[in-house]
Amino acid sequence: MTASLRRSAIVAVLTFSVAAVCAAPALAAPLDGSSGSSSGSSSGSAGSSGSSGSAGSIALPIPSPAGLVALAAAATQTGKPYQWGGTGPNSWDCSGLVQWAFRQAGVNLPRTSQQQALVGTPVPLWAMQPGDIITFRTSNDHVGIYAGFGQVFNAYDYGVPIGLTPLSAEPPINQIRRF
């Protein structure tokens, strides 16, 4: 599939998703009254400062409106160069791009990928949706925004313009977070 066709497919999915879920919550209370749990690859302090999770919530496989807005904002930066420590507007590193994109959606995130891995609501792999933040390796040293169809939108590395990368080309996923 060409990059242009992939981009068009993702824009179509985002348009549909925003229309379909704007009023739908990304979290729900368990029906049995238990406190619930977001099982998945969570480590660290999910309840740390800046966390938007709520006790007794479980992740649903529904994209969050803020995540979809952030993904759309990030997509406007397609083709710009990677720069370690870059915070825009002419070049980006991975966490600078994610921080900026979510700021456009009204969500203030910390600056580094390691800090970003500890905020928001943990999401299990089976519930990952476009707009969720993904960090990689146990060191959480890379972050991107899941775009759907097995693609992550990110500032990948030197020589690779900002854009989509197949998850299969990324290191192992460590954290998935939703805002």
Question: Would residue 90 show up in a list of annotated catalytic residues for this protein?
Answer: no
Are 134 and 107 in contact by the 8 Å Cβ rule? The answer is: no
Rounded to an integer, what distance in angstroms lies between the CA atom of residue 37 and that of residue 101?
28
Rounded to an integer, what distance in angstroms lies between the CA atom of residue 43 and that of residue 175?
8
In DSSP terms, 72 is beta-bridged to none
Catalytic residue among 22, 108, 140, 142: 142
Residue 174: CA count within 13 A, CB half-sphere: 18
Give phi and psi for 41, each to the nearest 5. Answer: -85, 70
Rounded to an integer, what distance in angstroms lies between the CA atom of residue 170 and that of residue 57?
29
Question: Would residue 22 show up in a list of annotated catalytic residues for this protein?
Answer: no
Catalytic residue among 22, 94, 140, 174: 94
Catalytic residue among 90, 140, 154, 174: 154
Catalytically active residues are 94, 142, 154
